[in-house]
């Protein structure tokens, strides 16, 4: 295993989702087609896949690293995301939180000052 490469969120309105995720992650997509929109988030892929009747569930969580979890959580809530899990300390300085995007996908965020990328 080489680590996280891609997280894909299924959305019913690709154009609205593209705009929302551009604001949420403060970046524009590098790949923008009617069948898939891709964002490069510090070397990791965030993909939007259009699907009208996407099955939703909380069985999978991906956490995106942040430097300030309270600020990042507030930013997403201000974009009309709905709370899933408020910022919570899970040991030491490690904190996690998650929100529902407007399409009911769960976006996790994590503050982990000890995480360092390793060379592949």
Domains observed in the chain:
6-52+60-111 (3.10.180.10)
Torsion sign (Cα): 80, 83, 89, 91: negative
Q: What is the pLDDT of residue 114?
A: 86
Q: What is the pLDDT of residue 60?
A: 67
Tell me the whole-structure pTM to 2 decimals: 0.80
- Between the alpha carbon of residue 11 and those of residues 8, 18, 37, the distances in Å are 10, 10, 11
- Percent of the residues in the chain that have a pLDDT greater than 90, as a whole number: 72
Question: 15-58, pLDDT tens digit by residue?
Answer: 999 999 999 999 999 999 999 999 999 989 999 999 876 565 55
| First CA to last CA distance, the chain | 10
Coil/strand/helix, residue 17:
helix
Coil/strand/helix, residue 68:
coil
Question: 7-23, pLDDT tens digit by residue?
Answer: 999 999 999 999 999 99
């Amino acid at each position: 295993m080489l680590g996280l490469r891609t997280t894909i969120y299924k959305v019913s309105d690709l154009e609205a989702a593209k705009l929302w995720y551009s604001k949420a992650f403060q970046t524009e997509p590098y790949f923008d087609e009617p069948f898939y929109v891709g964002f490069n988030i510090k070397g990791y892929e965030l993909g939007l896949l259009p699907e009208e009747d996407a099955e939703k569930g909380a069985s999978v969580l991906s956490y995106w690293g942040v430097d300030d979890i309270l600020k990042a959580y507030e930013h997403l809530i201000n974009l009309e995301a709905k709370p899933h899990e408020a910022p919570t300390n899970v040991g030491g300085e490690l904190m996690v939180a998650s929100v529902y995007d407007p399409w009911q996908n769960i976006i996790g965020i994590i503050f982990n000052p000890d995480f360092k990328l390793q060379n592949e």
